[in-house]
């Protein structure tokens, strides 16, 4: 007659294993599992058939299972501590971005004209999945009317940033306000995947909640984004 850990204990073991990435076994649960195991083992030893006693390898196997419970608990505690350190490091890294201009996914560009006639536009960017022979940026207004179009020529893969001069296709300065832009890229006359990036300023940082990530507040227009959304720091 041999004793094995029942399905409830096995389920708890599986739950503990999953705890490496989610909820771990609590100390109380682990203690309860160990106590249940020892009770089962002692009961079997007291009631085993003298002519067919438990073999050493059977006892060793079951002791290994209960040790696995302890090992998983300790692993979960270690991983939890490491995760906390990573979160703290990411939060500290993110706070250095407060007040910084960044490029994030989006297609918005702003134009501001001072009383002296100076024109300021927010940077715009592109992210190419592969090198391109021809890249075209088209600036439009709120109704979709084309304001100007720029041929940027060949560009390398990755993130590139540019500045719109604020001029219309007729050579005049565009009016103050918000505009949109779209990007097209080709290589050997075949489309290349390209994402538009717009400029925003990091206002504040929100530490991660459990299972979440650090959030960067970019204001009312752009909302909150994760660190992975930051494509370039300007």
Read off the pLDDT band of 36 (50, 70, 90): confident
More confident residue, 136 or 58: 136
Q: Among 3.40.50.720, 3.40.50.10490, 2.60.40.4070, 3.40.50.2000, name the CATH number for the domain at 105-200.
A: 2.60.40.4070
Domain ranges for the chain: 7-95, 105-200
Closest-CA residue to 232 (of 152, 128, 91): 128
Do 107 and 196 contact (CB within 8 A), yes or no?
A: yes
The whole-angstrom separation of Cα 76 and Cα 80 is 6
Average pLDDT over residues 204-228: 87
Task: Examine the pLDDT at 138 and tell me if it is beyond 50.
Answer: yes
pLDDT (average), residues 83-103: 80
* Whether the predicted pLDDT of 2 surpasses 90: no
Instruction: Please tell me the predicted confidence (pLDDT) of residue 75.
Output: 72
Mean predicted lDDT score pLDDT of the chain: 81
Q: What is the pLDDT of residue 40?
A: 73
How far CA 204 is from CA of 84, 96, 126, 148, in Å, comes to: 20, 10, 25, 34
The tokens of 193 are what? 């995947």
Compute the average pLDDT of residues 126-141.
Answer: 97
pLDDT band of residue 5 (cuts 50, 70, 90) is: very low
* Alpha-carbon span 164 to 123, nearest angstrom: 7
Q: What is the pLDDT of residue 47?
A: 74
pLDDT per position as a tens digit, 40-71: 777 776 776 666 666 666 667 766 776 676 67
Contact 127, 192 (CB under 8 A): no
The arithmetic mean of pLDDT across residues 102-113, rounded, is 96
Higher per-residue confidence, 40 vs 25: 40
Q: What's the pLDDT score for residue 61?
A: 73
pTM: predicted TM-score of the whole model, two decimal places: 0.63
Q: Does the structure show a pLDDT above 60 at 1? A: no
Per-residue pLDDT at 178: 96
pLDDT attached to residue 51? 64
The two structure tokens encoding residue 134: 């021809």
Residues 6+ apart with CB under 8 A from 104: 197, 198, 200, 218, 222, 225, 229, 230, 231
Which of 56-65, 120-129, 178-187 has the least mean pLDDT? 56-65
Measured between alpha carbons, how far is residue 203 from residues 24, 48, 102, 228 in Å?
A: 35, 70, 11, 17
pLDDT digits (tens, 9 = 90+) for 145-180: 999 999 999 999 999 999 999 999 999 999 999 999
Assess whether pLDDT exceeds 70 at residue 6.
no
Residues 225 and 215 sit within 8 Å (Cβ to Cβ): yes
Crossing angle (nearest 10°) for helices 56-95 and 27-47: 180
């Amino acid at each position: 007659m041999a004793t094995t850990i029942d399905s409830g204990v096995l389920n708890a073991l599986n739950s503990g294993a999953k705890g490496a990435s989610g909820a771990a076994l609590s100390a109380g649960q682990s203690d309860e599992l160990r106590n249940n195991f020892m009770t089962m083992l002692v009961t079997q030893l007291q009631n085993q058939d003298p002519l067919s006693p438990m073999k050493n390898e059977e006892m060793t196997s079951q002791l290994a299972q209960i040790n696995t419970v302890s090992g998983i608990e300790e692993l979960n505690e270690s991983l939890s501590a490491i995760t906390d350190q990573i979160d703290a490091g990411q939060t500290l890294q993110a706070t250095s971005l407060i007040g910084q201009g960044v490029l994030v996914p989006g297609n918005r560009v702003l134009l501001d004209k001072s009383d002296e006639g100076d024109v300021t536009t927010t940077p715009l960017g592109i992210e190419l999945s592969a090198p391109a022979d021809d890249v075209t940026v088209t600036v439009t207004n709120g109704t979709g009317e084309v304001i100007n179009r720029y041929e940027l020529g060949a560009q390398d893969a990755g993130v590139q940033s540019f500045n719109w001069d604020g001029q219309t296709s007729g050579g005049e300065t565009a009016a103050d306000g918000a505009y949109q832009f779209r990007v097209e890229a080709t290589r050997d006359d075949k489309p290349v995947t390209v994402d538009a990036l717009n400029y925003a300023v990091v206002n504040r940082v929100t530490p991660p909640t459990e299972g979440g990530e650090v959030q960067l507040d970019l204001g009312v227009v752009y909302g909150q984004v994760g660190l992975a959304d930051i494509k370039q720091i300007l």
